[in-house]
Amino acid sequence: MDKITFLPRLQRERDKFELLLNRVGFTRQLTMVGVLGRLSIKDMLADILTREQFIADRLSEILHGDTYSPCASHTMLENFQNKYGYPDYESPLLDKEKTNHLVIYKHKNIGLDDIIEQELAAYANILASFQKLTHDQCLDHDLFHRIAEHTYKSYRRTSVEINRWLKSIAAESK
């Protein structure tokens, strides 16, 4: 993988996700619970936001020469979340694909527009940092895989749930 190949892939995946969100449309639907259990699309966007913020912060650390090590204990995990406001998504102690309910709870009283604004800023930070990194830095830090894990793989998982929900709504209205 190289940056020239990865960046368009990331943007294509992002575009597909945004098209799906636009298709859902009305704010009322974005905040309706039941997409995945008691979660709304807004809740799922909060999860994506924190995953993107996680990798944006790790990219910034790489650019500044800082070292990140995944949390190896539950105490470290708790301290990490208290410091950053999101979990250490690369810790082997966490299920990487599972929605973190502490994140959802933290964002419950934040408006949809604010979550979207923060998520767009986190994504922009990922792109800006990624473009500043050298190819060797990307390889040394396994960034093609890590960025994909925290961006478009999350979009795909969320899209599956949203599409499933949309189909169930369509079936109920018949």
Domain 3-169: CATH architecture, name and number where available: Up-down Bundle (1.20)
Instruction: In whole angstroms, give the CA distance from residue 166 to residue 100.
Output: 23
Q: Where are the beta strands (DSSP E) in the chain?
A: none
pTM as predicted: 0.93
Q: What is the pLDDT of residues 107-127, one digit of tens each?
A: 999 999 999 999 999 999 999
Owner of token pair 């894990």? 149
For 145-166, what is each residue's pLDDT tens digit?
A: 999 999 999 999 999 999 999 8
Beta carbons of 25 and 41 less than 8 angstroms apart: no
Is residue 27 pLDDT above 60, yes or no? no
- The single residue listed with the structure tokens 């500043």 is 132
Between CA 49 and CA 162 the distance in angstroms is 16
Backbone angles phi, psi at 49, to 5 degrees: -55, -50
Task: Tell me the domain boundaries of the chain.
Answer: 3-169
